[in-house]
């Protein structure tokens, strides 16, 4: 009890100290704090008003910078578009970001309240600090700084910010189709990915695609006493365990028929290049994850499996008694949620059809199966050595003072491939997240140094892209 009070008191003192320091904060950090305080959780309808308030704040910020701003309503959360005065003789750069964030639970695991930003150990701790508000605002503030210092930008700029990325951007692709002419651009820049380590400038040239599905197995019409009925009828939780186990073979390969049919093989030059990148060895993956061993498809390093190979993951499983102690019950049903990460040239719809066929074929006897297919998005892959790719690398080098590394990303931003298909433009992925920024998890954080570097990076980027 006493211990708890001391810990609590210590935390309060630390918080007060950080508030005191906050008074001496830069204007940039003050803006970020304001932006972060909105609990803009897109998946939770209880937070719809907060998401909207966040969009309105953004509209105000961009307007005050002298840009012309539009707020477009959608079936759920608004899209914010802002532009400078466009001229015929300049290139057009579209910068995309998202102002929505992931849910915060489990709240008890946060060391400070998830929507009260504070700085400790040189990092800003808050939900959305990295994914994506900190990275996104660095772009906005870089533009603000250039406008203040030079009175103009070297390019025609379009800011496109959405509030639905974390729920699969359901309204953005239709918006792109409807407004394709106004959104026409030469290239797109996005800071919503990672750096391989502190101070190592990192350009992404690929993202994995995604396909989600959920399965429910049903047995008896209600929960049963496991002594009275166990052995007489199938247990849906046991059946689920067998079904989930059927997704992989013993060597970590996905065992769904045809799953690898369209996979573009990892290129020799990429493998060679990635082997030289610091901070992405199997030992580094162990250190950052805290797992006792790496595991996955045989013949690939951890980084290769994440960046260039498709995977099947269970994101959640449930059924039966979850409380303290034991309860002798035979559950009436059990469920699992899956996501599949995809690489070029896999097609999410084709994969979902194969997943469905696999689940139906391998469903154990004695239970019924219901499969619900979820959202999906295509993988993305671009040439890192294009003219724009080279320009982005020059900007990264200027901002961080060293040669950038080139990687593909394991995460997904499905709208990036839609940009290419609808707007005809490629995307430069200029990530600022570190491996331990804990995006989507409790204690998300963003180093102040990365935020500041991001502002400078944006300034160099627009200059280099203009050439
Ligand atoms: N910023 C992430 C994507 C990301 C993170 C890419 C790190 C590369 C490195 C984005 O906000 C995200 O979380 N995307 C979702 C996909 C979406 C359809 C739910 C993801 O990857 O799970
Ligand atoms: Zn995210």
Same domain, 111 and 181: yes
Are residue 83 and residue 216 in the same domain, yes or no?
Answer: no
Beta carbon of 409 within 6 Å of any ligand 1 atom: yes
Q: Model's pTM, two decimal places?
A: 0.92
Q: Which residues of 403-423 are buried (b: 16+ CB within 10 A; e: fewer)?
A: ebbbbbbbbbbbbbbbbbebb
Where does residue 172 fall: left (phi above 0), alpha (psi -120 to 50 degrees), or beta otherwise?
alpha
Asked if 369 and 384 sit in the same domain, the reply is no
Q: Which residues contact 30 (CB under 8 A, 6 or more apart)?
A: none
Q: Looking at the structure, tell me whether residues 334 and 435 fall in a common domain.
A: no
Which pLDDT band, with edges at 50, 70 and 90, does 24 fall under?
Answer: confident
Q: Does ligand 1 come within 6 angstroms of the Cβ of 194?
A: yes
Of the candidates 377, 400, 419, which is a domain's last residue? 377
Residue 439 to residue 444: CA distance in whole angstroms: 5
Residue 412, CA atoms < 13 Å, CB-side half-sphere = 27
| Ligand 1 binding pocket mutation candidate from 165, 206, 211, 352 (most atoms within 8 A of CB) | 165
DSSP 108-168: GG-SS-TTS-EEETTEEESTTIIIIIIHHHHHHHHHHHHHHHHSS-SSEEEEEEES-GGGT
Compute CA distances 200 → 35, 196, 286, 289, 399, whole Å.
27, 6, 19, 20, 11
The Cβ-side half-sphere exposure at 106, using a 13 Å CA radius, reads 2
> Residue 191 corresponds to which tokens in the numbers above?
């800071």
Give the pLDDT of residue 15.
52
Looking at residue 138, which CATH number applies to its domain? Answer: 3.40.630.10
**For 124-164, how does the pLDDT look when each residue is reduced to its tens digit (9 = 90+)?**
999 999 999 999 999 999 999 999 999 999 999 999 999 99
pLDDT at residue 6, rounded to an integer:
37
> Average pLDDT of 88-110?
98
Ligand 1 pocket check for 411: Cβ under 6 Å: yes
**Does residue 426 line the site of ligand 1, with CB under 6 A?**
no
Check whether residue 79 and residue 223 sit in a common domain: no
Task: Kindly tell me if the per-residue pLDDT of 11 is higher than 80.
Answer: no
Q: Is 376 in the pocket of ligand 1 (CB under 6 A)?
A: no
Q: Is the pLDDT of residue 17 over 90?
A: no
CA atoms within 13 A on the CB side of 227: 2
Percent of the chain with pLDDT over 70: 95
Q: Which ligand is nearest to the CA of 416?
A: 1
Question: Is it true that the peptide bond before 132 is cis, omega within 30 degrees of 0?
Answer: yes
The verdict on residue 196 lying in a domain is yes
CA distances for 195 relative to 106, 123, 130, 265, 350, angstroms: 26, 16, 12, 24, 32
Q: Contact at 8 Å (CB) between 200 and 279? A: yes
**Does the beta carbon of 114 sit less than 6 angstroms from any atom of ligand 1?**
no
Residues 6+ apart with CB under 8 A from 241: none
Residues 215 and 84 in one domain: no
Residue 304: inside a domain:
no
Within this chain, do residues 68 and 173 fall inside the same structural domain, yes or no? yes
| Residues 205-250 pLDDT 10s | 999 999 999 999 999 999 999 999 999 999 999 999 999 999 999 9
Residue identifier of the C-alpha nearest atom 13 of ligand 1: 166
What pLDDT is recorded for position 319? 97
Domain assignment present for 425: yes
Q: Is residue 296 part of a domain?
A: no
Check: CB of residue 378 under 8 Å from CB of residue 341. no
Which residue out of 102, 161, 413, 433 has the highest number of ligand 1 atoms within 8 Å of its CB and is therefore the one to mutate? 413
**137 shares a domain with 11:** yes
Name 433's bridge partners. Answer: 194
Mean pLDDT, rounded, for 312-328 = 97
The string of pLDDT tens digits covering residues 176-192 is 999 999 999 999 999 99
DSSP string computed for 6-37: HHHHHHHHHHHHHHHHHHT--HHHHHHHHHHT
439 CA to middle of ligand 2, Å? 7
Q: How many domains does one find in the chain?
A: 2
Q: With beta carbons less than 8 A apart as the criterion, state whether 135 and 432 touch.
A: yes
Residue 28 Cβ < 6 Å to ligand 1: no
**pLDDT tens column, 447-467:** 999 999 999 999 999 999 999
Q: How far is the CA of 413 from the centre of ligand 1 (A)?
A: 5
Quick one: 160 and 256 in the same domain?
A: no
Query: Residue 2: which pLDDT band, with cuts at 50, 70 and 90?
Result: very low
- Shared domain check, 361 and 226: yes
289 within a domain of the structure (yes/no): no
**The tokens of 248 are what?**
């992989």
What is the per-residue pLDDT for 458? 98
Q: What pLDDT is recorded for position 21? A: 53
Mean pLDDT of 19-36: 83
Protein residue whose Cα sits closest to atom 4 of ligand 1? 411
Q: Is the CB of 377 under 6 A from ligand 1?
A: yes
Q: Does the C-beta of 454 come closer than 6 Å to ligand 1?
A: no
Query: In the predicted model, is pLDDT for residue 19 greater than 70?
Result: no
User: In testing the pocket of ligand 1, which one of 191, 197, 411 has its CB within 8 Å of the most ligand atoms?
Assistant: 411
Q: Are 129 and 258 in the same domain?
A: no
- 419: tokens are 């940009």
Q: Identify the CATH number of the domain in which residue 248 sits.
A: 3.30.70.360
Ligand 1 pocket check for 348: Cβ under 6 Å? no
Q: Is residue 412 in contact with ligand 1, taking CB distance under 6 Å?
A: yes
- Quick check: is 49 in a domain? yes
CB of 379 within 6 A of ligand 1: the answer is no
Q: Is residue 300 part of a domain?
A: no
Q: Would you say residue 31 lies in a domain?
A: yes
Collapsing DSSP states into helix, strand and coil, what is residue 374? strand
State the chain's mean pLDDT as an integer: 95
8 A C-beta contact, residue 338 and residue 171: no
CA–CA gap between residue 236 and residue 227 (Å, rounded): 16
Query: Residue of the nearest CA to atom 10 in ligand 1?
Result: 413
pLDDT band, very low/low/confident/very high, at 23 (cuts 50, 70, 90): low
Rounded Cα distance between 272 and 406, Å, is: 12
| Angle at 47 (CA atoms; ends 46, 49), nearest 5 degrees | 110
pLDDT, tens digit (0-9, with 9 covering 90-100), for 63-85: 999 999 999 999 999 999 999 99
For residues 130 and 169, the answer to whether their CB atoms sit within 8 Å is no
Residue 57 CA to chain centroid, in angstroms?
22
pLDDT at 314 over 50: yes
Assess whether the C-beta atom of 311 lies below 6 angstroms from ligand 1.
no
Instruction: Give the nearest ligand 1 atom to 169 CA.
Output: 18
**Are β-strands 368-377 and 329-330 bridged in parallel, bridged antiparallel, or unpaired?**
unpaired
pLDDT tens for residues 341-397?
Answer: 999 999 999 999 999 999 999 999 999 999 999 999 999 999 999 999 999 999 999
Whether the bond into 345 is cis, omega within 30 of 0: yes
* pLDDT per position as a tens digit, 255-310: 999 999 999 999 999 999 999 999 999 999 999 999 999 999 999 999 999 999 99
User: Residue 45 has which token pair?
Assistant: 């309808």
112-132 CB burial, b ≥16 within 10 A, e <16: bebbebbbeeebbbbbbbbbb
The number of the ligand 1 atom at minimal distance from the alpha carbon of 412 is: 21
Q: How far is the CA of 323 from the centre of ligand 1 (A)?
A: 32
Q: Are residues 7 and 71 in the same domain?
A: yes
Instruction: Provide the domain limits for residue 220.
Output: 209-263+310-320+327-377
Q: Indicate if ligand 1 lies below 6 Å from the C-beta of 202.
A: no
């Amino acid at each position: 009890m006493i211990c708890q009070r001391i810990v609590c008191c210590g935390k309060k003192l630390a918080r007060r100290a950080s508030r005191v320091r906050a008074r001496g904060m830069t204007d940039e950090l003050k803006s970020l704090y304001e932006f972060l305080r909105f609990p803009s959780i897109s998946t939770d309808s209880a937070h719809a008003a907060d998401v909207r308030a966040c969009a309105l704040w953004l509209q105000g910020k961009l307007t005050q910078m002298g840009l012309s701003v539009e707020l477009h309503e959608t079936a759920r959360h608004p899209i914010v578009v802002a532009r400078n005065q466009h001229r015929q003789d300049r290139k057009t750069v579209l910068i995309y970001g998202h102002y929505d964030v992931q849910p915060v639970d489990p709240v008890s695991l946060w060391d400070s309240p998830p929507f009260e930003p504070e700085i400790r150990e040189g990092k800003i701790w808050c939900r959305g600090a990295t994914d994506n508000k900190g990275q996104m605002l660095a772009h906005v503030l870089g533009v603000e700084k250039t406008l203040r210092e030079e009175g103009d930008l070297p390019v025609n700029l379009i800011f496109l910010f959405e509030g639905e990325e974390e729920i699969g951007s359901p309204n953005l692709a239709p918006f792109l189709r409807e407004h394709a002419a106004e959104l026409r651009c030469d290239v797109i820049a996005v800071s919503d990915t990672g750096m391989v380590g502190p101070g190592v400038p990192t350009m992404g040239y690929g993202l994995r695609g995604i396909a989600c599905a959920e399965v429910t197995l049903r047995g008896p019409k209600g929960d049963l006493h496991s002594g009275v009925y166990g052995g007489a009828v199938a247990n849906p939780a046991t059946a689920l365990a067998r079904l989930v186990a059927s997704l992989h073979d013993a060597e970590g390969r996905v065992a769904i028929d045809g799953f690898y049919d369209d996979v573009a093989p990892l290129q020799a030059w990429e493998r060679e290049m990635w082997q030289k990148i610091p901070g992405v060895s199997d030992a580094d993956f162990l250190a950052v994850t805290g797992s006792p061993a790496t595991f996955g498809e045989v013949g690939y390093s951890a980084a290769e499996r994440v960046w260039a190979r498709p995977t099947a993951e269970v994101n959640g499983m449930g059924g039966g008694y979850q409380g303290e102690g034991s309860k002798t019950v035979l559950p009436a049903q059990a469920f699992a949620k899956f996501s599949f990460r995809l690489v070029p040239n896999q097609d999410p719809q084709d994969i979902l059809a194969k997943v469905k066929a696999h689940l139906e074929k391998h469903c154990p006897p004695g239970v019924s199966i219901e499969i619900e297919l979820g959202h999906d998005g295509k993988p993305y892959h671009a040439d890192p050595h294009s003219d724009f790719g080279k320009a982005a690398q020059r900007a990264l080098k200027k901002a961080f003072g060293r040669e950038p590394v080139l990687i593909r990303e394991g995460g997904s931003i499905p709208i990036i491939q839609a940009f290419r298909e609808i707007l005809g433009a490629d995307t430069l992925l200029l990530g600022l997240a570190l491996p331990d920024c804990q995006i989507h998890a409790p204690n998300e954080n963003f180093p102040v140094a990365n935020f500041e570097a991001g502002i400078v990076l944006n300034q160099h980027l627009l200059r280099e892209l203009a050439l």
